[in-house]
Amino acid sequence: MSNSALVDYIKLSPCNSGKRTHKIDRITPHCVVGQASVEALGTLFQNKARQTSSNYGIGFDGRVGLYVDEDKRSWCSSSNANDQRAVTIECASDKTDPYAFNDAVYSKLVELCTDICKRNGKTVLLWIKDKATALNYEPKENEMLLSVHRWWANKSCPGPWLFERMGNLAEEVTRRLGGQILYRVQVGAFRKREYAEQQAKELRAKGYNPIITEVEI
């Protein structure tokens, strides 16, 4: 397993769990909450007392830093299970809500996600907004799944700005990979889960692959 050739700066962090126990099938972008440089992130991740790191970081100028080798688990998402299977990326952002990325950072995030997928044999990057559905989904051999820190911690990371663009990120990366972009169509809404399960069963019998999501109203 190799690291990205897009890396401009390397400062390996002691904050990691060594070799992964799960193959890579997720990418987790984070917001730094500050217009940090790759050097500043490298210094931050040297501090063992903070117990935090990421595989990569993207500085405010679009440069890429490497802090934990891609074949190792970083300490980034408040979830051992996620970090064992995800490549984590800290991205420079505004300090205030909605924690927006500038054009250089977002463009490099698209490029880096494309590179990660390509080197790991993936042709499709998926975004499933509903947490329960996403975490119960097992990506196919050619699929990479986006995940977000807010699913495991009481914070907005990666911030509203990127969260609302995760679908666009997945589509653009998939397009660059030459994969097939799927658009899902809702075929029903039910007040009882048992009715949704029955509808899903009928659709599976017809050869479809339905996904059940929960929406608060």
pLDDT score at 4: 98
Strands 16-19 and 72-74: antiparallel
pLDDT for 59 beyond 90: yes
Q: Which H/E stretch holds residue 124?
A: strand 124-126
Fill in the DSSP letter of residue 155. S
Residue 133 CA to residue 126 CA, distance in Å, equals 12
pLDDT for 35 beyond 60: yes
Dump pLDDT digits (tens) for 110-161.
999 999 999 999 999 999 999 999 999 999 999 999 999 999 999 999 999 9
Q: Which domains does the chain have, with CATH numbers?
A: 9-183 (3.40.80.10), 184-217 (no CATH)
Dump pLDDT digits (tens) for 159-192.
999 999 999 999 999 999 997 655 556 677 777 7
Residue 27 CA to residue 96 CA, distance in Å, equals 24
Arithmetic mean of pLDDT over the chain? 92
For 61-71, what is the mean pLDDT? 98
pLDDT for 208 beyond 70: no
Residue 89 CA to residue 91 CA, distance in Å, equals 6
When pLDDT is cut at 50, 70 and 90, the band that residue 215 belongs to is low
Q: Which H/E stretch holds residue 205?
A: helix 193-205
Residue 207 CA to residue 209 CA, distance in Å, equals 7
CA angle 188, 189, 194 (to 5 degrees): 100
When pLDDT is cut at 50, 70 and 90, the band that residue 201 belongs to is confident
pLDDT score at 214: 63
